[in-house]
Amino acid sequence: MENVAKELLSKESLDKWYSNYHKLEYFKKQTEPLLSEFDESLTRWADAQRSMRHVLPGELKKKLAALRFNFKSREVSWEFMYRQLAGFVEENGHTCLPSDQKFEALQDWLNRQIFNKRLLSATQFQQLDSLGVDWDALNSRDQRWELMYLRLQEFYRLYGHCRVPQKWEKDRQLAQWVSVQRRVYSKNKLSEAREHKLNELGFVWNIKTVFDAQWEQYFQEMAVFYHTHGHCRVPGKYEKLASWVERQRTAKVNNLLPADRERRLGEINFIWNCVNIKKKGWEKKYRQLCTYKQKYGHSFVPVNCRENKALGTWVATQRLLESRGKLGAAKKRMLSEIGFVWGSDTQRQLKSGYDAQWEASFEKLKAYKQQYGTCQVSLKIDPALQRWTRWQRMLFNQGRLSAARTNRLNEIHFPWSVQEEYWMRMFEALVEFRNQYGHTSLPHQWAPNPPLAAWVYRVRRDKLKLSTRKVKLLNGIGFDWTLSRRTIVPWKEMYKRLKAFKREHGHTCVPVKWNVDPKLGRWVSRMRYERDKLSAERVSLLNAIAFDWRVKPASSNTAAIHA
């Protein structure tokens, strides 16, 4: 019902409504002044929304409610009009207002109170009753006409026109009254005064002129569509135009379409019969399906097929029509001949097809790893396989990858993230180290592969943070979890220790395994081996104390010191 109400709004009226709405929105953001201080027309518009709140479309009411618009705050206006009426009664002794422009607004207000007396509060009713208001004042024919005119005014203020639908459920009495005015006018029995008042609202005396204007508007839209697309096959997304097109076809079938309209539509190659078009469209999709089967070996096209989404939707539609008994026998036979998957077999065959595709991609990934030594597929080398691996990661992270497939991928050390890829690469390097040296105890700064040595140290340190799968992999190669805590001593401190050693012993040949200071022995040995990597400043400092750069074989602590 609310959608119908909104459709009655003319574009001009709707644009004007939003213009006032945005103006009200602006004022609401200010310091809450009285609207009359800014814009008298906006005040009248706000009052109109309150008086028409019962017929205001729901969407527009929600927008006003979002601004905390008070639909019921008419007490100040009501009191003002009441005081005017009370002043008239005090001066004249009655409530029979004269037909004078001076009292037109007050008369309009009084008529509304009489007609809507059931909506008045008990206090308001008593106040008016105490003035001697005649609650039966609208019983005469003229007064009833004026009352209906007021209701038409409300309709006009809300919708921007006077074209009340013939069977308008919100106010059937008003709809019937509008029809009566047209009939009386066509018989030249409507008074000039009433004709003048209705003309002020833009009253439509002949509704056929409105329909003719609407037809012309849609015809122009149809002509623009034809010149743009080269045909008149309007798709469903042009909802209103597509409905109009169907109405023209129906009118022609029922011999209700005027000859001039049929001629004008024919000039733009209007399609009167869609049967042949639909048939050609079906055959075109069927040929696409045949091509798809020839390429992929099956005909169960996914609904979200990236290659051809329209074909996926068409295939699903054929299944739906067949399940409802609405697919022609000839079409069903043609589809069955190419192995089309119907109803209950769909899921089973789709699963079988997807399983085969998954297995093929998995074997392809194994071959890739065999060739390149990693499961991190390069987009440049194999874009399709790279997309497949990305899809597996997404399914895994969403908890949608089956346990069987997860285990299969884990068996080839598939990385579930970029960090996982680096971890698996280091693990495989550690396996190679173990195969070569028979253990996993890498030196802290192993020169051939420092990153691996650092990784081994971090793995030992962060054992509690590792996943069960990773711990199981490491235990499987006999990983040494012993964590030796290293104390980093600055280079200058070690240099001072060496100088002290020379002062005491007269040379710099510290044994590698000197029990007194094992760290110094290892440091001296390392200086000899890393001479080419030392800075010029450090080489100069060592030369200054006659450092012995010769690499000597290991010897006992005492013998080496006193040599």
H or E segment and range at residue 278: helix 275-296
Q: Categorize the per-residue pLDDT at 538 as very low, low, confident or very high, splitting at 50, 70 and 90.
A: very high
Residue 161 CA to residue 158 CA, distance in Å, equals: 8
Nearest to 354, CA basis, from 366, 364, 346, 343: 346
Q: Categorize the per-residue pLDDT at 544 as very low, low, confident or very high, splitting at 50, 70 and 90.
A: very high
236 or 318: which leads in pLDDT:
318
Are the C-beta atoms of 164 and 152 separated by less than 8 Å? Answer: yes
Give the mean pLDDT of 350-375.
Answer: 83
- Percentages (nearest 5) of helix, strand, coil residues in the chain: 65, 0, 35
**DSSP reduced 3-state for 173:** helix
Q: How far is CA 255 from CA 219, 249, 258, 275, in A?
A: 19, 10, 8, 19
- The pLDDT tens digits for 149-161 are 888 888 887 777 8
- pLDDT confidence of residue 545: 92
Are the C-beta atoms of 426 and 451 separated by less than 8 Å? Answer: yes
- pLDDT confidence of residue 397: 78
**DSSP reduced 3-state for 161:** coil
The yes-or-no verdict on residue 560 having pLDDT over 60 is no
Q: Categorize the per-residue pLDDT at 142 as very low, low, confident or very high, splitting at 50, 70 and 90.
A: confident
- pLDDT confidence of residue 75: 46
Give the mean pLDDT of 31-45.
Answer: 58
The yes-or-no verdict on residue 555 having pLDDT over 60 is no
A 10 A CB-CB count for 245 gives: 21
Tokens 């644009």 belong to 15
- The pLDDT tens digits for 485-494 are 666 778 999 9
Token reading at 428: 């495989």
Tokens 């609650």 belong to 135
The yes-or-no verdict on residue 351 having pLDDT over 70 is no
Tell me which DSSP letter residue 340 carries: P
Residue 438 CA to residue 460 CA, distance in Å, equals: 18
Give the mean pLDDT of 247-258.
Answer: 89
Q: Categorize the per-residue pLDDT at 1 as very low, low, confident or very high, splitting at 50, 70 and 90.
A: very low
Report the half-sphere exposure of 297 (CA within 13 A, side-chain side): 7
Residue 542 CA to residue 499 CA, distance in Å, equals: 9
Report the percent of the chain where pLDDT is more than 90.
Answer: 9
The yes-or-no verdict on residue 37 having pLDDT over 50 is no
Q: What is the mean pLDDT of the chain?
A: 81
- pLDDT confidence of residue 70: 73
Residue 207 Cα to chain centre, angstroms = 43
- pLDDT confidence of residue 500: 94
The yes-or-no verdict on residue 102 having pLDDT over 60 is yes
Give the mean pLDDT of 157-178.
Answer: 82
275-279, 349-353, 389-393, range with the lowest pLDDT = 349-353
